[in-house]
């Protein structure tokens, strides 16, 4: 069984490496070809065009940035390559975008499964992503051996759209928890409270989430380099969550300010940095004063 993986960015590159380590025949393609080089040295194969790469494989795995780029690749460039092949779509996109892709792939004679993941480069490299699947049960069953190389327990959640909705629900928590912790941390520091005392109280309470400690050092140091998940993708996912929640008739007003804040990340030069760079946006103005 040969696999063609499209999009060797942070997540796609790590997934490709994991598949290679599992002994898979792997073909890779990336818009910026140089980004495939280290994978080719590790045993992956490539060809000059996405079409030629797809032509070598049974399964096409997509890990591009977003819905529009994935659609342009699958239903545009690979239009003629979909018949008889399976598509495993990993990028986080809107549930409706995923459903439109599924319909487009089916019209061209292919099979489609959405498989967004929770976890990042480190989890991908060791096959411990939390993988959610949406699609026909038969397609999930056919893809399962491949999915098990990426995730210890891939979960089939329902039809196409269901796994993307679940993924957006999880990523809304990433944005909200990071934002909430960041503001509290700033206030603690500006009030002259010892950060470790604050953390000890928090860790001993029901309010604690492990992500707080995971990001604490980065936030204290202002070090957002070498991201596994960049700020621009968190903004994309929060915007998708708000669209999906609006379509579901929810009141997402409380999150709109957070999306506005994240929209300032481009001008602030934070888009390519770790998403905990949100902490730089919540800093506002002035260093504040410790109370007497
Ligand atoms: N990183 C994570 O931890 C993580 C976790 C879960 C889900 N995700 C999701 O997975 C997807 C990929 O994330 P990532 O972190 O790997 O992003 P990334 O490092 O920014 O990589 C994005 C990939 O998409 C390609 N791309 C972007 N626009 C394109 C276009 N118009 N045409 C063709 N290729 C295009 C890029 O190619 P170039 O190299 O040429 O720019 C690159 O291969 C996103 O939807 C993200 O939300 C990421």
Which stretches within the chain are classed as H helix? Answer: 10-21, 37-41, 50-54, 67-71, 95-107, 121-125, 137-147, 162-190, 195-203, 210-221, 231-247, 253-263, 278-282
Task: Tell whether 9 and 119 lie within a shared domain.
Answer: yes
Q: Span 51-74, mean pLDDT?
A: 98
Are 270 and 178 in contact by the 8 Å Cβ rule? The answer is: no
* Tokens found for residue 156: 């089939």
Contacts of 37 (CB under 8 A, 6+ apart): none
Task: Tell whether 148 and 17 lie within a shared domain.
Answer: yes
Residue 289: which pLDDT band, with cuts at 50, 70 and 90? very low
Whole-number Å distance between alpha carbons of 221 and 243:
34
Are 279 and 214 in contact by the 8 Å Cβ rule? The answer is: no
Whole-number Å distance between alpha carbons of 259 and 36:
33
- Ligand 1 pocket residue status of 86, Cβ below 6 Å: no
Task: Tell whether 119 and 177 lie within a shared domain.
Answer: no
Q: What digits encode the pLDDT tens for the residues 7-50?
A: 999 999 999 999 999 999 999 999 999 999 999 999 999 999 99
Whole-number Å distance between alpha carbons of 53 and 232:
28
Domain total for the chain? 2
User: What's the CA-to-centroid distance between 190 and ligand 1, angstroms?
Assistant: 37
- Ligand 1 pocket residue status of 69, Cβ below 6 Å: yes
* Single residue among 159, 180, 205 that ends a domain in this structure: 159
Say if residue 290's pLDDT is above 70: no
**Domain of 215?**
164-282
Task: Tell whether 15 and 139 lie within a shared domain.
Answer: yes
Q: What digits encode the pLDDT tens for the residues 209-229?
A: 999 999 999 999 999 999 999
pTM of the model: 0.96
Is 288 among the domain residues?
no
Q: What is the pLDDT of residue 285?
A: 80
User: What's the CA-to-centroid distance between 7 and ligand 1, angstroms?
Assistant: 6
- Ligand 1 pocket residue status of 171, Cβ below 6 Å: no
Task: Tell whether 142 and 230 lie within a shared domain.
Answer: no
User: What's the CA-to-centroid distance between 236 and ligand 1, angstroms?
Assistant: 12
User: What's the CA-to-centroid distance between 64 and ligand 1, angstroms?
Assistant: 4
Q: Which atom of ligand 1 is nearest to the CA of 12?
A: 16
Task: Tell whether 131 and 113 lie within a shared domain.
Answer: yes
The three-state secondary structure class of 227 is coil
Task: Tell whether 17 and 118 lie within a shared domain.
Answer: yes
Q: What is the pLDDT of residue 39?
A: 98
Residue 291: which pLDDT band, with cuts at 50, 70 and 90? very low
Task: Tell whether 154 and 194 lie within a shared domain.
Answer: no
Residue 194: which pLDDT band, with cuts at 50, 70 and 90? very high
Which of 7, 33, 174 is the best mutation target for the ligand 1 pocket, counting ligand atoms within 8 Å of the beta carbon and taking the most? 7
Is 290 among the domain residues?
no
With helix as H, strand as E and coil as C, how does 9-55 read? CHHHHHHHHHHHHCCCEEEEECCCHHHHHHHHHCCCECCCCHHHHHC
Q: What is the pLDDT of residue 286?
A: 61
- Pick 286 or 118 by higher pLDDT: 118
**Which stretch of DSSP H or E encloses residue 130?**
strand 130-134
Are 4 and 59 in contact by the 8 Å Cβ rule? The answer is: yes
Whole-number Å distance between alpha carbons of 254 and 251:
8
Is 110 among the domain residues?
yes
Query: Computed from CA positions of residues 207, 211, 215, 216, in that sequence, does the dihedral angle turn out positive or negative?
Result: positive
Is 292 among the domain residues?
no
* Tokens found for residue 251: 């009141």
Task: Tell whether 104 and 183 lie within a shared domain.
Answer: no
- CATH number for 27: 3.40.50.720
- Residue with the smallest CA separation from ligand 1 atom 34 is 31
Mean per-residue pLDDT over the chain, rounded: 96
Give me Rg for the CA atoms of the chain.
Answer: 21
Task: Tell whether 77 and 138 lie within a shared domain.
Answer: yes
Whose tokens are 């103005």? That residue is: 285
Is 69 among the domain residues?
yes
- CATH number for 232: 1.10.1040.10
Q: Which atom of ligand 1 is nearest to the CA of 8?
A: 43
Task: Tell whether 170 and 37 lie within a shared domain.
Answer: no
- Ligand 1 pocket residue status of 64, Cβ below 6 Å: yes
Whole-number Å distance between alpha carbons of 9 and 190:
38
Is 291 among the domain residues?
no
């Amino acid at each position: 069984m040969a696999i063609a993986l499209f999009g060797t960015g942070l997540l796609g590159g790590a997934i490709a490496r994991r598949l290679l380590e599992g002994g898979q025949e792997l073909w890779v393609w990336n818009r910026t070809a140089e980004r495939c080089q280290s994978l080719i040295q590790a045993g992956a194969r490539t060809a000059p065009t996405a079409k030629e790469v797809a032509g070598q494989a049974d399964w096409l795995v997509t890990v591009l940035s977003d819905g529009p780029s994935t659609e342009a690749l699958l239903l545009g460039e690979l239009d003629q390559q979909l018949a008889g092949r399976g598509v495993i779509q990993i990028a986080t996109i809107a549930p409706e975008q995923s459903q439109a892709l599924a319909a487009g792939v089916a019209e061209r004679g292919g099979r489609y499964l959405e498989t967004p993941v929770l976890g990042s480069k480190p989890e991908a490299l060791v096959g411990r992503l939390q993988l959610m699947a949406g699609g026909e049960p038969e397609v999930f069953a056919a893809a399962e051996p491949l999915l098990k190389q990426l995730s210890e327990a891939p979960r089939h959640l329902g039809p196409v759209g269901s796994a993307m909705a679940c993924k957006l629900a999880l990523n809304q928590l990433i944005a909200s928890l990071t934002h909430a912790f960041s503001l509290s941390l700033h206030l603690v520091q500006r009030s002259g409270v010892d950060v470790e005392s604050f953390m000890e109280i928090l860790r001993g309470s029901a309010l604690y989430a492990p992500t707080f400690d995971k990001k604490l050092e980065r936030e204290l140091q202002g070090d957002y380099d070498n991201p596994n998940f960049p700020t621009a993708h968190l903004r994309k996912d929060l915007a998708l969550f708000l669209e999906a929640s609006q379509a579901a008739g929810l009141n997402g007003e409380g999150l709109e300010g957070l999306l506005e804040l994240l929209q300032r990340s481009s001008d602030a030069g934070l888009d390519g940095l770790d998403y905990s760079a949100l902490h730089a946006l919540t800093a506002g103005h002035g260093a504040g004063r410790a109370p007497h």
